Amino acid sequence: MQHRHGWKRWLTAIAAGLMLAGTALVPGRADGASAAREQRAAMTASAARGHMASAAPVSWADLQRRYRGVFVLRAVASGGRRVALTFDDVPDPRYTPLVLNVLKRKRVRATFFVVGSRAAKHPALMRRIVSEGHAVGNHTYSHPELPKLSLGQVEREIERTGETIRATAGFEPAMIRPPYGDIRPAQLEWARSRGYIVVNWDVDSQDWRQIPAGVVLRNAVKGLRPGSIILMHAGGGAGQNLYGTVNALPRLIDQLRAKGYELVTVPELLHIPERKRKPG
Ligand SMILES: [Zn+2]
């Protein structure tokens, strides 16, 4: 039974992925495309971490070693039983308020990775994220695959988003999360030279697969350890259903607290500033 259900979910996820991939082909639908791209790249990323055939030339673990303090998957130094919840692709008027409501009710502060084009459209939501004590990071302006971009293009994606966040939050964030977690070493060199810290994750809830809350919950605690950074989404592409995330969140918070975990923001977890320092 369990297996048949697993397969059904898997097939549903694949079908949803294909539908979203279809929308990605429609020009001028960057937001709609983002979900499908996120899915494709997340698969590539997990393949890379699993050292499969399609692996990227450099694994995330290698990057974390080579770019210590610049490319981060989790907190390595022990700082007690602390973990961080992170939510990508915000602000989204459908899901971000629902996620914020749960966090407020549970008195949890989390970290939100902001897409600049969305922040420009929903400044009130941006102000709410910040005023409720959450940390924010830069998730690029148009959610492109960074490895395909030149350094100049990457710089424009990041700086334009930083300026948009400054307009509502009052500061530019130090943290960058690349779309799909994908970034090249040369781009990491650039990030380091500009005082940015690239923050990915070590635990993937896989909520972008539009899976039920129970599965989101299970994924979000699989492999979890002190210092972990958990990937979730509070925004999606056109038609993407993130109610699994919204419904899993209260239970996830309760479970983590029952296991003695303290939920903190990424800057608190990593002991880094939230605001970007001026380079040079
Ligand atoms: Zn994203």
Closest by Cα among 60, 43, 58, 81 to 198: 60
CA 154, 157, 158, 163 torsion-angle sign: positive
Q: What is the pLDDT of residue 57?
A: 67
Distance 4 CA to ligand 1 centre (A): 30
DSSP conformational letter for 153:
H
For the question of residue 89 being annotated catalytic, the response is no
- How many Å apart are CA 177 and CA 157, to the nearest integer? 12
Distance 1 CA to ligand 1 centre (A): 33
Q: Which residues of 82-105 are buried (b: 16+ CB within 10 A; e: fewer)?
A: bbbbbbbbbbbeebbbbbbebbee
Q: What is the pLDDT of residue 106?
A: 98
Distance 2 CA to ligand 1 centre (A): 30
Distance 89 CA to ligand 1 centre (A): 5
Q: What is the pLDDT of residue 161?
A: 98
Q: What is the pLDDT of residue 279?
A: 56
Q: What is the pLDDT of residue 277?
A: 80
- The count of other CB atoms within 10 Å of the CB of residue 29 is 13
Which option is the CATH number for 71-270: 3.40.640.10, 3.20.20.370, 3.20.20.70, 3.90.930.12? 3.20.20.370
The structure tokens 């699993």 sit at: 50
For the question of residue 233 being annotated catalytic, the response is yes
Distance 123 CA to ligand 1 centre (A): 18
pLDDT truncated to tens, each residue of the chain (280 aa)?
A: 334 344 344 444 444 444 443 333 222 223 333 444 454 444 444 444 443 444 456 899 999 999 999 999 999 876 789 999 999 999 999 999 999 999 999 999 999 999 999 999 999 999 999 999 999 999 999 999 999 999 999 999 999 999 999 999 999 999 999 999 999 999 999 999 999 999 999 999 999 999 999 999 999 999 999 999 999 999 999 999 999 999 999 999 999 999 999 999 999 999 999 999 865 4
Q: What is the pLDDT of residue 21?
A: 38
Joined together, the tokens standing for residue 236 give 């999606």
- How many Å apart are CA 45 and CA 43, to the nearest integer? 5
- How many Å apart are CA 209 and CA 53, to the nearest integer? 22
- List CB-based neighbours of ion ligand 1 within 5 Å: 88-89, 179
DSSP sequence for 161-210: HHHHHHHHHSS-BSEE--GGG---HHHHHHHHHTT-EEE--SEE--GGG-
3-state DSSP percent of the chain in helix, strand and coil, to 5: 50, 10, 35
Catalytic entry in 134, 139, 143, 233: 233
- How many Å apart are CA 81 and CA 222, to the nearest integer? 16
Give the pairing of strands 229-233 and 82-90: parallel
- How many Å apart are CA 66 and CA 61, to the nearest integer? 9
Please work out, in degrees rounded to the nearest 5, the angle formed at the alpha carbon of residue 125 by the alpha carbons of 99 and 254.
Answer: 20
DSSP sequence for 128-150: HHHHTT-EEEE--SS---GGGS-
User: Domain locations in the chain?
Assistant: 7-63, 71-270
Q: What is the pLDDT of residue 78?
A: 65
User: In the Cβ-directed half-sphere of 259, how many Cα atoms lie within 13 Å?
Assistant: 15
Give residue 86's identity as a one-letter amino acid code.
Answer: T
Joined together, the tokens standing for residue 133 give 């004590």
Q: What is the pLDDT of residue 56?
A: 53
CB 130 within 8 A of CB 277: no
Please work out, in degrees rounded to the nearest 5, the angle formed at the alpha carbon of residue 110 by the alpha carbons of 194 and 183.
Answer: 35
Distance 200 CA to ligand 1 centre (A): 11
Distance 88 CA to ligand 1 centre (A): 5
Catalytic entry in 5, 31, 88, 204: 88
